[in-house]
A and B are shown apart, each in its own frame.
Chain A
Amino acid sequence: MSVAIIDYGSGNLHSAAKAFERAARGMENPQQIVVTRDPEVVYRADRIVLPGVGAFADCRKGLDSLDGMIEAMTEAVRSKARPFFGICVGMQLMATRGKEHVTTNGFNWIAGDVEKISPREENLKIPHMGWNTLDVLRDHPVLERLDLGPKGRHAYFVHSYHLNTANEADVLARADYGGPVTAIVGKDTAIGTQFHPEKSQRFGLALIANFLKWKP
């Protein structure tokens, strides 16, 4: 079993890879974590992880620069039903469009746009940086036994934009930052988190472990 983490020059690649390696080590059947720029490796992987930090358009451009990568990834996820985990901008890319400065097309796996967050309270700064609890909207195998909710564990966010989904059913969990912030999306065999599981300590590792165990 192999887990391909796509290397397209994103800033959180190494911390993400480390977190997945750590989560995999604790499992009964360890899975090999491969950091790769090769679409063939991604196409053949059993699971795919797309990290991402920075601006939506830059991340899209970085991915586009790897010839055949988006096609390989899309085919593996949408036809071969391989589990996919998008992190932060990697999650935002699952949307129809990004509207950060310029409008950029996403993969359109999850209908909706990536839009600037607009907290009601003026003292809430943008970017939103910090730890928040999550409200679970829908059960999902990757959310099992995670101790979430208002008194549960915290996830680490750093972002100014979030995925405003067209269908509420695609949102697995939300955070509150002067209004609802999309925290986890899930559709078919793909999930994505706006927060950084690789920086969310035990909760992040437990979430990653659930993803590695998930057999959709």
Chain B
Amino acid sequence: MILFPAIDLKNGQCVRLEQGDMARATVFNLDPAAQARAFAAQGFEYLHVVDLDGAFAGKPVNALAVEAMLKTITMPVQLGGGIRDLATVEAWLAKGVARVIIGTAAVRDPQLVKSAARQFPGRVAVGLDARDGKVAVQGWAETSEVTALEIAGRFEDAGVAAIIFTDIARDGLLKGLNFEATIALAESISIPVIASGGFASIDDVKALLMPRAKKLAGAIAGRALYDGRLDSAAALALIRNARAAA
């Protein structure tokens, strides 16, 4: 189980949104690279970064901030937001992103995910963000009529490294992860699933370490880490102990 701290970028700053609403953004750090260094110092092993403006624009917008982060930390970074073509995938991977997250294009252009995953094994993840069970795209501004499982099913055997499943209704609201839906998805496909949206407290860490969540490859924590509700040292210690016991 990997606990990913999240850095979401808007106008070059590190923000948290509520339910993906750009109008409900709280700035937590003006310097994303400093935030990335802080997470590295706390002992996290993998960073989750989203270019929010990029997700809306359909192309990278906060590239400078991402590059500044890549230069300052050695911890691997997964990056999503505005990655819609092979050239963008290639460019980010060449710049040192450990893996890219494809969201909107996974819905509209499944061939892109398949080609990218074939060309860059282990370095392509799919981001599926659901509102009432249906996948949303374009920075969550548009909701489709398809379920996460339908989309995920397209990529069985395609070599996708992970599926990051976000429950939009919970995101940024500290209500706890949606274990039920995420575990159901993880049990229906062979691609590793990472839970996201609503990470609230140490209780979520404990729940992630329970046997019923063993199918989950990890979880993403955002606001709870920034407002101190989730103590990173305690969370990482629990995970380390669980690994040692396994």
Binding site for B on A (CB under 8 A): 75, 78-81, 169, 187-189, 216
Contact = CB atoms under 8 A, between A and B. Distances in A.
Given A79-B108, A81-B107, 9 more contacts: A78-B107, A78-B144, A81-B108, A81-B154, A187-B109, A189-B108, A189-B109, A189-B110, A216-B111
Interface string B143-154: 011100010001
Interface size class of B (residues with CB under 8 A): 10 to 19
A189 B110 CA distance: 8
A47 to B, nearest CB: 15
B105 interface: yes
B85 interface: yes
Contact of B135 (A79, A169, A189, A216): A79
Nearest to A72: B145
A80 B105 contact: no
A188 B113 CA distance: 11
B109 A80 contact: no
Contacts of A81: 107-110, 154
Interface in B100-142: 105, 107-111, 135
A188 B135 contact: no
B39 to A, nearest CB: 35
A79 B145 contact: yes
A211 to B, nearest CB: 14
A-B residue pairs, 6 tightest by C-beta: A79-B144, A188-B109, A188-B108, A216-B111, A79-B146, A81-B110
A216 B113 CA distance: 10
A148 B150 CA distance: 37
Given A75-B145, A79-B145, A169 B107 contact: no
22 contacts: A75-B145, A78-B144, A79-B107, A79-B108, A79-B135, A79-B144, A79-B145, A80-B145, A80-B146, A81-B108, A81-B110, A81-B154, A169-B85, A187-B109, A188-B105, A188-B109, A189-B108, A189-B109, A189-B110, A216-B109, A216-B110, A216-B111
A117 B107 CA distance: 34
A78 B146 CA distance: 10
A75 B85 CA distance: 21
Contacts of A187: 109
A216 B111 CA distance: 5
A150 B192 CA distance: 48
A75 B105 CA distance: 14
B133 to A, nearest CB: 13
A75 B108 CA distance: 10
Given A81-B154, A169-B85, A188-B105, A75 B110 contact: no
B118 to A, nearest CB: 14
Contacts of B144: 75, 78-79
A187 B85 CA distance: 10
A80 B105 CA distance: 12
Nearest to A169: B85
Interface in B150-177: 150, 154
Contacts of A78: 107-108, 144
Contacts of B154: 81
Nearest to B84: A188
A189 B104 CA distance: 13
A137 B122 CA distance: 31
A189 B109 CA distance: 6
A192 to B, nearest CB: 15
A81 B106 CA distance: 9
Contacts of A79: 107-108, 135, 144-146
A11 to B, nearest CB: 30
